[in-house]
């Protein structure tokens, strides 16, 4: 996607250099969505699995999907090559290496156990392979992480409860639960029971959920979309909304999200590739920022959407002509939105300010850096006081 954008920035090359160098936290990343075509075929060959497409080039051509469901069909087909602990390790390690190269220093990663247990792959195989790679990433790359176990919206509430129960022996590896897969026809009320269980003893998981990604079509009206977003907050009691770009349709919802500082993990390239937004230049990210929403930049399923986290930073800076202050705010948002302890958030936001200070050239840019620095100090000070 970057190749279709201008190569120079109206505010100067230093903005793009900052986007590359700034330490980032990524909170909307599906580990199965990092399976690059080459790795799919490598794993399929290793495991004797027939691929759904004959060549790597055919799979790359198939990435021109028209909607969320077409993407999901391709996504689940690629997952069929994941059978053994080493497969999950290799997939996760490949992501960590790539993300680290783009200065992602912390990642809160979704994984979809139901996608694998439905195929007869044990829960333990999935989480052990992923966790082993994340531990190695911390040791060798200095990259920290957390795991978010997602329930699939298109499956039943009872299925999600069974998956929750399977997670109990591994609960120390899991920070939160989430919901993904298709929104249409799968209201939040379907998962209230599992969220109530997940939040309580013995799990004590934190809660997030995908919602507000797709716009109106057919019976999926604007009223339904906004209603589902409210129900996600009220019934599921989530601390963070994944996507949430449709929140701009409701001033009342914007006010609530802004006042409560509820983070929205936005995925610009994904929104364009899945046709939620026509083109990157039309993305509502800046409008969301100007509305006071706590938004961050994330890659979602980078193997399918044309770029990893750092690529998304560069893409929105170019397409929306965002300046250094805007990009520093977004990087700081990524840390504030994380599940890290407040002291660590404050320190990492301070790191963002330090990098931004090196690149700031104008009074406006220096003022933006000062705001980021003060935010980091405030978050850290509140944590210490408590």
Asked if residue 39 belongs to a domain, the reply is yes
pLDDT value of residue 52: 81
**For the chain, which ranges sit under pLDDT 50?**
none
Bridge partner residues of 29 (DSSP) = 109, 300
Asked if residue 356 belongs to a domain, the reply is no
Asked if residue 237 belongs to a domain, the reply is yes
Asked if residue 64 belongs to a domain, the reply is yes
Which residue range forms the structural domain that includes residue 176?
2-9+25-326
Asked if residue 50 belongs to a domain, the reply is yes
pLDDT value of residue 128: 99
Contact 270, 305 (CB under 8 A): yes
Rg (CA), the chain: 20
Contact 114, 152 (CB under 8 A): yes
Separation CA 89–CA 360 (nearest Å): 40
Asked if residue 59 belongs to a domain, the reply is yes
Count of structural domains, the chain: 1
pLDDT value of residue 3: 65
CA 204, chain centre distance (Å): 21
Which residues are marked as active site? 213
CA dihedral sign of residues 265, 267, 272, 274: negative
Asked if residue 124 belongs to a domain, the reply is yes
Binding region for substrate:
301
pLDDT value of residue 47: 97
State the first-to-last Cα distance of the chain, in angstroms, to the nearest integer: 44
Asked if residue 265 belongs to a domain, the reply is yes
Binding region for Zn(2+):
28, 30, 210, 300
Binding region:
28, 30, 210, 300-301
CATH code (residue 196): 3.20.20.140
């Amino acid at each position: 996607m970057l190749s279709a954008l201008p190569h120079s920035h109206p505010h100067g090359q230093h903005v793009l250099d900052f986007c590359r160098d700034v330490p980032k936290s990524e909170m909307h990343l599906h580990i199965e969505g990092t399976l690059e075509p080459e790795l799919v075929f490598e794993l399929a060959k290793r495991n004797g699995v027939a691929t759904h497409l004959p060549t790597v080039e055919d799979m790359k051509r198939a990435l021109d999907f028209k909607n969320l469901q077409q993407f999901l069909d391709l996504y689940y087909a690629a997952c069929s090559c994941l059978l053994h602990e080493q497969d999950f390790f290799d997939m996760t390690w490949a992501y960590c290496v790539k993300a680290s190269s783009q200065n992602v220093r912390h990642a809160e990663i979704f994984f979809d156990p139901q996608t694998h247990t439905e195929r007869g792959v044990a829960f333990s195989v999935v989480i052990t392979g992923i966790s082993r790679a994340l531990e190695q990433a911390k040791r060798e790359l200095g990259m920290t992480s957390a795991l978010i176990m997602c329930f699939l919206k298109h499956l039943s509430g009872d299925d999600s409860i069974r998956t929750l129960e399977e997670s109990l022996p591994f609960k120390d590896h899991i920070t939160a639960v989430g919901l993904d897969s298709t929104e249409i026809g799968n209201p939040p009320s379907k998962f209230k029971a599992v969220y109530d269980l997940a939040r309580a003893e013995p799990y004590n998981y934190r809660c997030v959920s995908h919602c507000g990604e797709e716009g109106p079509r057919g019976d999926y009206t604007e009223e339904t979309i906004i209603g589902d977003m409210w129900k996600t907050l009220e019934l599921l009691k989530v601390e963070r909304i994944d996507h949430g770009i449709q929140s701009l349709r409701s001033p009342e919802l914007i006010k609530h999200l802004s006042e409560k500082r509820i983070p929205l993990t936005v995925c610009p390239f994904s929104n364009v590739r899945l046709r939620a937004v026509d083109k990157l230049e039309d993305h509502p990210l800046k409008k969301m920022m100007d509305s006071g929403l706590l938004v961050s930049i994330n890659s979602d399923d980078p193997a399918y959407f044309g770029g990893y986290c750092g690529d998304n930073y560069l893409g929105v800076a170019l397409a929306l002509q965002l300046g250094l202050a805007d990009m520093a705010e977004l990087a700081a948002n990524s840390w504030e939105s994380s599940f890290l302890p407040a002291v660590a958030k404050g320190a990492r936001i301070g790191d963002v300010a330090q990098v931004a200070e090196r690149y700031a050239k104008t009074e406006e840019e220096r003022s933006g850096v000062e705001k980021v620095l003060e935010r980091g100090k405030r978050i850290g000070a509140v944590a210490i006081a408590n």
